[in-house]
Structure 1
Amino acid sequence: MGKPDLTLQVRRLCADGYRLYDSKEYRLALRSFYQAWLLIPKPQSEYAEAGWVLTAIGDTYFKLQQFEQGAESLTSALYCPDADKSPFLQLRLGQCLFELGRIPEARKYLLHAYHASSSLFDNEPPSYSAAIADLIPQHD
C-alpha cells in the first residue's frame, strides 16, 4: 500500500470489525469495515488491503442475509491483488449467488472453494456441498 501507517490503520479497523462480527454485531462490524475501505486510496482495486476489506464486507452481508450486497462486494474483491486465490472468498461468493438463485455461477465458485479447501464446508449447511456433489469425484 506504500504507507505502513495506512496499512496499520486498515488492519486496526478490520480487527475492530472482526471483534464485532464475532459478537454477532454485524451492522456495527460493517461500519468498521467501511471505515477501513474509506482509508484505501483510489483506485482501491490496486491494493491487496481492498481485497481483505471487501471480503469482510461481503462476509458480513452474507451473515445479514443481504445476499445481493454480499455478492457485489465479493465480486469486487476478485479484482484486487491475490484475492481471487482466497478459498473463503470463493465460498462466500458461491453461497451468496446460491441464495440469489444464480446456481450455475454459484456452483463455479463453490467448486473452486471446495478444491482449494474442502474443510471450509465442514461448518456450513449441507445445501452448499450438495449443490456441487455431482462435480466432486466420490471415493469408495
Structure 2
Amino acid sequence: MDELPDDIFEQIEVLSEDGNVALDTGKPDEAIGYWRKALGLLPEPQSKWDAAMWLYASLGDAYRAKNDHENALSAFQSANASGDGAMNAFVQFGLGVSLYDLDRKDEATNPLLRAYMMEGRDIFKEEPFGYLKHLADQKLID
C-alpha cells in the first residue's frame, strides 16, 4: 500500500490528536471538525488510506457520543470500507453498536461477533451489557 507524504501525515496526526483531546474533554462537535479537516487532506481515493479508516472510526465515536446513531453508522461504514477496516475490531464494534442502537439488531449481530472474535469481552467492557447479551441470546457466545 502507498504511504502518505510525510507532511500530509504529520498534519493529519496533529488534527487527529486535537480531535482526540476535544472528544476527551466533552466537545464532540469540535472533534468532528478536526477529523473532517484531516480527512480533507487525504488524496483520492480516501478509502485506500489507513488514516481514513481511523479518522472515520473516530468520527463514528464522536457521533455516538452525541447519540447521533445515523451519522455514527455512516462513519463506521466508511471506516469499514477504508484501509483494513473490515479487519479492525474497533470498527466492527462501532458498526455493530450503531446498527444495534438503531434497532437493526439482526444486522448488528455479525459485526458485533467479529469484534468479539478479534478482541473478546474486553472490547465490550465500557459499554452497556446489552451488546454482549445480544450475542449470548443468539447462542453465539457463552
Distance 2:78 2:119 in 1: 22
Q: Deviations over 1:12-45 (max 9, x none)?
A: 1000000111111111111111110111111101
Distance 2:86 2:63 in 1: 19
What residue is the counterpart of 2:49 in the other structure?
47
Verify: 1:91 aligned to 2:90, yes or no: no
* Residues 104-123 of structure 1 mapped to structure 2, 5 A cutoff: 104-118=106-120, 119-123=122-126
- Secondary structure of 2:44's match? coil
Structure 1 unmatched ranges of 5 or more: none
Q: Deviations over 1:23-78 (max 9, x none)?
A: 11111111111110111111101111111111111111111111111111111111
Q: Deviations over 1:74-112 (max 9, x none)?
A: 111111121211111111111110011111111111111
- Secondary structure of 2:125's match? helix
Verify: 1:124 aligned to 2:120, yes or no: no
Distance 2:20 2:140 in 1: 32
TM-score for both structures, normalised by structure 1: 0.93
- The partner residue of 1:136 within 132, 136, 140 is 140
Verify the 8 A CA contact 2:135 2:141 in the aligned structure 1.
no
Verify the 8 A CA contact 2:49 2:83 in the aligned structure 1.
yes
Distance 1:100 1:128 in 2: 13
Structure 2 unmatched ranges of 5 or more: none
What residue is the counterpart of 1:79 in the other structure?
81
Task: Give the aligned residue type for 2:139.
Answer: L
Q: Percent identity?
A: 29
Task: Give the aligned residue type for 2:22.
Answer: L
Q: CA RMSD in A?
A: 1.1
Task: Give the aligned residue type for 2:128.
Answer: P
Query: Shift in Å at residue 129 of structure 1?
Result: 0.7
What is the aligned length? Answer: 138
